[in-house]
Amino acid sequence: MMLDSQDDMVVEPTRNDRDQVAIIEPDQLDNDSETLGDVTLATDFEAIKEIVLTPLLEEPKVLEDVVDTWKVENWRSLGKKEHGPTFKAGGYPWRILLFPFGNNVDQSSIYLEHGFEDLSSVPDDWSCCVQFGLVMWNTHDPSLFSHHTAHHRFTKDESDWGFTRFLELRRMFQQPWGNSSRPLVEDDSCNITAYVRIVEDETGVLWHNFNNYDSKRETGFVGLKNQGATCYLNSLLQSLYFTNAFRKAVYQIPTAEDESVNNSAYTLQRLFYQLQISGSAVGTNELTRSFGWDTRHIFEQQDVQELSRKLIERMEERMKGTSAEHSLPKMLSGKVKTYVSCIDVDYESSRLEDFWDIQLNVRGIPNLQESFKDYIQQETLDGDNKYWAGDEHKYQDARKGVIFTSFPEVLHLHLKRFEYDIQRDTMMKINDRFEFPDQVDLSPYLEKDADRSEPWVYKLHGVLVHSGDLNAGHYYAFLKPNQDGWFYKFDDDKVTKATMRETLEENFGGEYKSSLRPARSSFQKRTPIMRQMNAYMLVYIRESRLDQVLTPVNKEDCPPHLQQRLDEEAAVREAKRKEREEQHLYLPVKVITEETFKNHPGTDLTHFDFPADEPAAPRHYKMRKQVTMEEAVATIAQDLGQDPRRVRLWIMVNRQNKTTRPDQPIMDLRPTIEETLSRSVGTSRDNNLRVWAEVADEVDEKGNAIWPTYQGNANGVVVKNDLILIFLKHFDTDQQTLHGAGHIYVSKEKKIEELVPVIAKKMGWGEKLPAGEQLAMWEEIKPSMIESLKAKQSLKAAELQDGDIICFQKVTERKDVLGKIPRLGDRNPEEPKRWDRFDDAKAFYDFLCFKRDIRLDPHPRCEIPDLDSFILTLSSKITYDQLAERVGEYLQVEPTYLRFFTANATTGAAKGVVRRVPNATLAQILNPQNYTQQSLQTKSNSLFYEVLEMSLAELDTKKGIKVTWLSEGITKEDVFDVLVSKQGHVEDLVQALVKKAQIKDESEGGRIRIYEIHNHKFFRELVPNYPVLSINDYVDVIAERVPEEEIDAQDGDFVKVIHFQNDPSRVHGVPFKFLLKPGERFSETKKRLEKRTGIKGKAFEKVKFALLRRYQKPVVYISDDDVLLEDGNSIEEDSMLGLDHMDRTRVARNGAEMFLK
């Protein structure tokens, strides 16, 4: 019978009932016993048990089976909910829970529940894993029955589990059951038998729902958070972390002088230490950022083998010159010998190489040992395929193969689960069964002369698993942290104990056991069900070196500077957590003082979001909400170095014009600061108490402040006179600055011109202004509204009130009325007017409204050395030419020789060129009006600049071409940006390259070949008279000297050459043309290829060669005796010569290596 589907096993509260039951709605087609009734009787409990208690996928140990039957009588007279008699199983009480007329459905509902009478006596962590079946059968005819089966982890909270739709009521009472003439419930009664199997919960997580599961508490270990699709990275990192010797070696890398998030060694140290001390799952964000990954790469699963190699290689580089320099090769590197040995003569050619991991075949191979045998299997070279053993021995029969000379202490085995399928012409995952043991002896795979002073016996340490198919899947790991004890399953942030069956059998792959398969149709039964989860990487540790590899790692092994830094960060996090918890008890108080106002260079009295270290930033106090205003004044006065009696606070209010100004002083100091804030109308929007602190200029004989207005009397009455509080700002035309100048009290009836001597005295200019000078004044109503004040106008007529701001500046005296602003034409005609200089405050306020701090960085391709990055404060209303003028002035270069580029909002890298449009403003340059997806990705405060060798006008007549110059075969690439006239040809491009790269011209150094490549494949060679305008912008242009042997060669004698790694689709490097010589054996061709490519020594020895043809799979590699071009023939047009070697310059992330730092 079919198990209940996962969707059916839903836990819901019982409606109209206070108790909660787990509701399972089984598939209606899986449980009727009509086909079984004529052969099996419900009274045959052993036979029924075989039907309802089927083998479980997890195969847990059975502790006890119990069968109990409840005879249910007078069914139609039963209540809404009934309980059967209690029985014992596994030492715990159980009973059947019955809803005779359905639990809010039109079917009977039957459940199994634990029968504890007093739930308070049940421990909170109590659990019991139970497989059970419930059988309803006819009391008179036991051949008539219906059943369902399920399994569940019963806990104190999840006390019941079962079937809401056990059987339709109409089928129970009205319809004959099966082929009989009787209903299932006859004479208003039936039997319900519970088959209860108690199974062992060996790991403590069998059928666990993992609500409130704590990995650290349950296992002592923590997991890693998945950033999106980084489960493959998490499994690899856990494997390396629990290779304790590797962790210790990483800790020995000196990083005290480079605690940068761009240093992958430092971030890996941080990650390992956090895994060691943290109580919860650790994030990998810092590590992936140090790799150079952005959000896009977080959601791309990478090649695990390559990731492992790159990471280990990077750590090995960082260990050079330290005490751990040789630890990784000793731990992770072995040696393998590739050989060709003659059978009839004493001659052998061999090459010894290091390996850091072994790739083993899986397809069609039953187990690990057989795969090792396959790996070292010999190939016989005889007949037409004899081996050339040199001039002495000529052609000989020989055996070709590989043999291991040593294995490392920690052996990484990559199982080739992903291979190219020639039938489907695509990569496929191989789910074949492949067994691997807990312990393996690798001595049979070593050469005879290998050191056998210690046994080559290896113990399984880790199994890294992939679950899913080629296109989608999940990675997790089974690891054994200690020599003895359990394996643990590390599944991202969750860590659980794992049995040996889970570690081994469940990850072998292959078909499910027939006894564990769910029931299917006869057609489906012909198709085997394959396990989708299987091992793709194995980690073995040499048994004799277990103590050294799994050496204990203590807190003291971690670098002290790292511990200190993480302890400091933990303390900061704890302080922030405590602050968040206590935040409701405190109220932020922000105070504007005379000093902060005088330092303020912008509009209003301050900006409340200024950084704390900014001189103009308001002072910030964190006070308990219950502090009285009197206590708050005392605290602020102490900070200002003043007597509290001389300080009073004005409440700041938000005006309708969106400015924030003082409204009136706080006279009653008895309320709390919270009450004061709540009573104030129109105050802070962010729940801060914002005030201006006034310090009295005069005191009486008792030291009490004498205030110009709002003076409190002895009887508590506050006196308000006609004086108003005015704040002053000074615009300095010489310095082009605006700053606060303090405050004054002035009668409303006074005229504007009467403020001149007051301001002059305030500024220290004397009782009156020097002859020939006047003041121009404006009211700052709001940042975008500045109104001129008339000299003869009163403050009352100008509608000035408490908290208003008057801005003033000195102007040359004229007969005009005070406040009339000089026109530009009034300036000395000999003084040139600069567009970035402001003659009056109103124009300066306009600049403040539109100013931006723009960061300008030199473009990476700019060839002038030592150019700086800098920030200019500019108005967003300036034009392209004005921008060029300001930047040119800073750099001291001609503005017309500057070119600008926008910046990518995500990466910060340079984007497209900014076109020179005379009327375009800086705002339009940084934020294009069309709002395409591309423009939304542009940084709004950043530009790149390039200093050109010519003006932009001249540049418009040129075409820019990026040319890669190959100076040493293909091993050295120099990239040059070459400018050629749009009317020019390839021969002009060559001349421009010669000049740019400072290389010999063709007459002296030899002919230069120009060709295009696309996706690392040779596209076409360009003839000298080919127009440069026709060069495709989407191809790469390559330039090289034509080798002497190729100068007069025919096109038909050339073959195109590409580079690939393992699979021809994984191309890399620079392709090129290579001359084939008719009848030449490939052993000689290789010598010319070595010279042609510039790949030398061991690197060239590792290269394998293949002749690639379209649609030809798999790859056929070339032997030394093969001839690529027979006499009188030509190479096939679609054929290419492939060089199979590791891509050490792989660019997978924005043009950078997988690991940069």
**Dihedral pair phi/psi, residue 672, rounded to 5°:** -75, 165
Mode of pairing for the β-strands spanning 358-360 and 410-415: parallel
Q: ∠413-416-419 over CA atoms, to 5°?
A: 165
**Dihedral pair phi/psi, residue 314, rounded to 5°:** -65, -40
Active site residue 148: no
Residues 6 or more apart in contact with residue 945 via CB below 8 angstroms: 856, 857, 858, 859, 862, 887, 891, 898, 899, 900, 901
Beta bridge partner(s), residue 726: 744, 804
CA separation, residue 1048 to residues 710, 1003, 1075, 1087 (Å): 103, 16, 11, 21
Single out the catalytic residue among 129, 231, 342, 558.
231
Q: What would the two tokens of residue 595 be? A: 């000093």
CA proximity to 1114, closest of 427, 460, 220: 427
Q: Taking a C-beta distance cutoff of 8 angstroms, is the pair 421, 428 a contact?
A: yes
Distance separating alpha carbons of residues 47 and 70, to the nearest angstrom: 19
Distance separating alpha carbons of residues 133 and 52, to the nearest angstrom: 5
CA proximity to 1124, closest of 1099, 1105, 1104: 1105
Q: Residue 54 gets which letter from DSSP? A: P
Single out the catalytic residue among 151, 461, 474, 985.
474
Distance separating alpha carbons of residues 510 and 22, to the nearest angstrom: 35
Token pair 């002896």 is found at: 441
Encode 297-316 in three state secondary structure. HHCCCCCHHHHHHHHHHHHH
**Dihedral pair phi/psi, residue 578, rounded to 5°:** -65, -40
Helix (H, G, I), strand (E, B) or coil at 492: coil
Q: What would the two tokens of residue 822 be? A: 């000089």
CA proximity to 70, closest of 162, 165, 135: 135
Distance separating alpha carbons of residues 579 and 57, to the nearest angstrom: 49
CA proximity to 246, closest of 356, 360, 359, 321: 356
Active site residue 342: no
Q: Taking a C-beta distance cutoff of 8 angstroms, is the pair 114, 212 a contact?
A: no
Helices (H), 870-938: 880-891, 922-926, 933-936
Distance separating alpha carbons of residues 729 and 631, to the nearest angstrom: 32
**246-260 residues labelled b (16+ CB within 10 A) or e (exposed):** bbbbbbbbbbeeeee
Token pair 């540049």 is found at: 955
Distance separating alpha carbons of residues 8 and 1022, to the nearest angstrom: 68
**Residue 104 amino acid letter:** N
Beta bridge partner(s), residue 621: 589
Q: Does 1024 sit behind a cis peptide bond, omega within 30 degrees of 0 on the bond before it?
A: no
Residues 6 or more apart in contact with residue 642 via CB below 8 angstroms: 695
Indicate the angle between helix axes 231-241 and 304-319, nearest 10 degrees.
40
Q: Write the DSSP string, 139-178.
A: SS-TT-EEEEEEEEEEESS--EEEEEEEEEHHHHHTSPPT
Q: Taking a C-beta distance cutoff of 8 angstroms, is the pair 359, 418 a contact?
A: no
Q: Which residues participate in catalysis according to the annotation?
A: 231, 474
